[in-house]
Amino acid sequence: MRVLPRLLLLAYFVEVGLVLLVVPWSPFWDRNYFLDLWPAAAGVTHSNLVRGAVSGLGLINLWAAMAELAALFGMRSK
């Protein structure tokens, strides 16, 4: 793989990881248009378990970004 696509993939992983890590704990999470359409889902999405699961997915994305960064540096040293 060339360097530019790998950098774009790295940027994607970092961006998605940070959003998934931070947004569930912000006020933005509570002001959701789709929850206004389906109020029954509000109880589920306000659960700390669901918020933690979404943040866990963010951590997995950040871990994938670090793995991609390590692979990128490993590729450059050869």
Q: Which tokens in the block code for residue 74?
A: 């490993």
Summarize pLDDT for 32-62 with one digit per residue, the tens.
Answer: 888 888 888 888 999 999 999 999 999 999 9
Q: Which tokens in the block code for residue 38?
A: 């389906």
Whether 17 contacts 65, CB under 8 Å: yes
Give the start-to-end residue ranges of the domains of the chain: 3-76
Nearest to 7 by CA among 54, 76, 56: 76
pTM of this prediction exceeds 0.85: no
Average pLDDT, the chain: 90
